[in-house]
Amino acid sequence: MSRKASDNVEYTLRSLSNLMGEKRRRQQAEGAAGSAAAGERSLIAAESCSSLNSAASGAELERAARRQFQQDETPGFVYVVSVFSALGGFLFGYDTGVVSGALLLLKRELNLDALWQELLVSSTVGAAALSALAGGVLNGLCGRRPCILLASGLFTAGAGVLAAARDKETLLGGRVVVGLGIGVASMTVPVYIAEVAPPHLRGRLVTINTLFITGGQFFASVVDGIFSYLAKDGWRYMLGLSAVPAVIQFFGFLFLPESPRWLIQKGQTQRARRILSQMRGNQAIDEEYDSIKNNIEEEEKEVGAAGPVICRMLTYPPTRRALIVGCGLQMFQQLSGINTVMYYSATILQMSGVQDDRLAIWLAALTAFINFIFTLVGVWLVERMGRRKLTLGSLTGTAVALIILASGFLLSAQVSPRVTLNPPDPSHQNSTCTKYSYCNGCMLDPDCGLCYKLNKSSVVESSCIPVDKDSTMKAAWGRCSNETVFKKEDLFWAYNFCPTPYSWTALLGLILYLIFFAPGMGPMPWTVNSEIYPLWARSTGNACSSGVNWVFNVLVSLTFLHTAEYLTYYGAFFLYAGFAGLGLVFIYGCLPETKGKKLEEIESLFENRLCTCGMSDSDEGRYIEYIRVKGSNYHLSDNDASDVE
Ligand SMILES: O[C@H]1[C@H](O)[C@@H](O)[C@H](O)[C@@H](O)[C@H]1O
């Protein structure tokens, strides 16, 4: 039987073997190792016997087995529910991505200074950080469904306020409302999907949420491109369009169910059973239902129900370890610089010789597209490679790409063209720009740009001039102050970069970065966080880790320009490469493999000391697959005979 087909098999005996492994560990700890191993051997021997007997009835039984699990295919309903909730991810991506294009138009129409531009961008991310943290309490108290409804309500209201805004204060209000929606959605959606998905599809379905995030970012960049041609009110469409998916999600969720796991926790067992069987089609749900229920009862006995959840999480070693792993993953995702790389993609592209501004906008959309397409690769890989290998591979590639990107900036800085002309400032204001003798200094000063000509590929007749206050695409005065005129005269204007023969290295680094980051480091922190906490700690665990993601998002993006000023661009990217290196050590040591495990089994992965996962890598290839046929267990595939001891 092919591996692909067997992936769809009910995990009855696989979970039995996991439980046996767990039981063995416990019994060994109690000093009863010998008898436990004997007990387990006899169990496995019994299974092998049953498989031998089954083999006797040969092909007929195998055919029955195939028929059974073909019928057991996951019902479409799970996909519908996942896609509707992932619209929350789409809105997260859209609303964080669209603002850069909207700002270009807004700053002209509403005369926004740098502080207001900064406020409109970071207020959303800041509000998201706060509401992700608060979302934990809401999720625990009211359930996942009301939280998703609340998020889509906030997205709709925010989009309405933004589209109708008449002044910058209203815009700020709208951006805060949207940010509150993003925070709640970012922590609720992965948890909800993980709780309704069957174990063998969970990774893939939760990763679809990140696919929707990057899809939203890509769509936003296309909308930015299209409406940038509309000088008046273009930003209203850009910011208001997100109301469409938000309304669709709101009405969709009025008809979609609550998470069965949350319902069982709250004692609403009949409703939970009904929803679970709806989600599993014609598959038997008794085993899953019992295992969720037993787990909740055991958790209550083990951890107790007194005190705030976060305190209980911190004092109970398995959840404390899970929290460290979850928050660490989210922190390293942001510290490896994804949002500055995306934000600076237009600059990096311009460095590599793209001179046309409109073309740069569309090429930035291409960057978002690469991020999106390679997240799709992650959706495909997550159930094949598993979370651990995918994250490790992705972060290794990301670190290498960052080194290439940084080297591109370093080489460009080293062969930085000289400033050869020093025209007098007609306004007689003493600008700092005219003091730089090399392009490198000029490009690091946010007020200046380089105006130059090209002789073959070398820069000639260059001058460092203040940038126009309304547009970074031209100089405030002099030869490069009128775009249409200077382009006709074969003059070029470089803002934020220096034209050098090595610029392509940075472009190569950018593309490699996205190819490696998008399938693993982009989605895995969200996916892993949705599955590593036991039910009682799931909302709080996800609230904390999403909060960490947003806080580091703000920190990294707000400090980028200052970091670049103190350390230069290449210094900043080398710094992110260093963080990625640290992240690799952390992930190698601390991230266990959760692929294919039931949510209820995952807690046992954190029973060992923190950061000892690297030592158990050799166990990963072990794989036994069984299915249940009409009450008896039929051994379907066993790729490693040594598993049967
Ligand atoms: O997983 C997502 C994704 O990778 C996005 O592209 C990025 O902007 C977000 O910050 C991140 O959380």
Per-residue pLDDT reduced to its tens digit, 169-224: 999 999 999 999 999 999 999 999 999 998 888 989 999 999 999 999 999 999 98
CA 189 to ligand 1 center in whole angstroms: 15
Residue nearest to atom 1 of ligand 1 (CA): 522
Burial of 214 (C-beta count, 10 Å sphere; 0-12/13-18/19+) = buried
CA 55 to ligand 1 center in whole angstroms: 50
In the structure, what pLDDT confidence band is assigned to residue 113 with cuts at 50, 70 and 90? confident
Q: Which residues contact 136 (CB under 8 A, 6 or more apart)?
A: 187, 309, 539, 540, 541, 542, 543, 544
- To the nearest 10°, report the CA torsion of 226, 470, 434, 441: -50
CA 432 to ligand 1 center in whole angstroms: 37
Tokens of 341: 């790389």
Q: Which amino acid is at 559?
A: T
CA 92 to ligand 1 center in whole angstroms: 9
pLDDT for res 264: 93
The single-letter DSSP state of residue 493 is E
Q: Are 86 and 193 in contact (CB under 8 A)?
A: yes
Atom of ligand 1 nearest to the CA of 518: 4
Q: What are phi and psi of 465, to 5 degrees?
A: -125, 150
CA 250 to ligand 1 center in whole angstroms: 23
Residue tagged 């005219």 (tokens): 434
Q: Is the shortest distance between the CB of 213 and ligand 1 below 6 Å?
A: yes
Put residue 281 in one of left, alpha, beta given phi > 0 → left and psi -120 to 50 → alpha. Answer: left
Whether the predicted pLDDT of 64 surpasses 60: no
Planar angle of CA 617, 318, 144, nearest 5 degrees = 105
CA distances from 326 to 74, 196, 204, 379, 546 (A): 28, 20, 18, 20, 9
CA 513 to ligand 1 center in whole angstroms: 13
Top mean pLDDT of 17-31, 110-124, 628-642 is at 110-124
pLDDT for res 354: 64
Q: 3-class DSSP state for residue 81? A: helix
Q: Are 80 and 213 in contact (CB under 8 A)?
A: no
Q: 3-class DSSP state for residue 363? A: helix
CA 288 to ligand 1 center in whole angstroms: 33
Q: What are phi and psi of 487, to 5 degrees?
A: -70, -35
Pocket test of ligand 1: the residue of 182, 338, 551 to mutate, having most ligand atoms within 8 Å of its CB, is 338
CB atoms within 10 A of CB 407: 19
Whether the predicted pLDDT of 643 surpasses 50: no
Residue nearest to atom 6 of ligand 1 (CA): 214
Per-residue pLDDT reduced to its tens digit, 539-561: 999 999 999 999 999 999 888 87
Planar angle of CA 128, 133, 137, nearest 5 degrees = 130
pLDDT for res 342: 80
Report d(CA 11, CA 287) in Å as an integer: 10
Report d(CA 379, CA 382) in Å as an integer: 6
Q: Is the shortest distance between the CB of 210 and ligand 1 below 6 Å?
A: yes
Q: Are 186 and 92 in contact (CB under 8 A)?
A: yes
pTM as predicted: 0.78
CA 79 to ligand 1 center in whole angstroms: 22
Q: Is the shortest distance between the CB of 522 and ligand 1 below 6 Å?
A: yes
Pocket test of ligand 1: the residue of 209, 212, 333, 553 to mutate, having most ligand atoms within 8 Å of its CB, is 333
Report d(CA 321, CA 317) in Å as an integer: 6
Residue nearest to atom 12 of ligand 1 (CA): 522
Atom of ligand 1 nearest to the CA of 186: 12
Put residue 530 in one of left, alpha, beta given phi > 0 → left and psi -120 to 50 → alpha. Answer: alpha
Per-residue pLDDT reduced to its tens digit, 246-283: 999 999 999 999 999 999 999 999 999 999 988 888 67
Q: Is the shortest distance between the CB of 132 and ligand 1 below 6 Å?
A: no
Read off the pLDDT of each residue in 57-81 and give the average, rounded to a whole number: 64
Q: What percent of the chain has pLDDT over 90?
A: 48
Q: Are 237 and 227 in contact (CB under 8 A)?
A: yes
Q: Is the shortest distance between the CB of 371 and ligand 1 below 6 Å?
A: yes
Q: What percent of the chain has pLDDT over 70?
A: 80
Q: Are 481 and 461 in contact (CB under 8 A)?
A: no
Whether the predicted pLDDT of 640 surpasses 80: no
Residue nearest to atom 3 of ligand 1 (CA): 522
CB neighbour burial string for 309-332, b if at least 16 within 10 angstroms, e if fewer: bbebbeebebbbbbbbbbbbbbbb
Q: Is the shortest distance between the CB of 520 and ligand 1 below 6 Å?
A: no
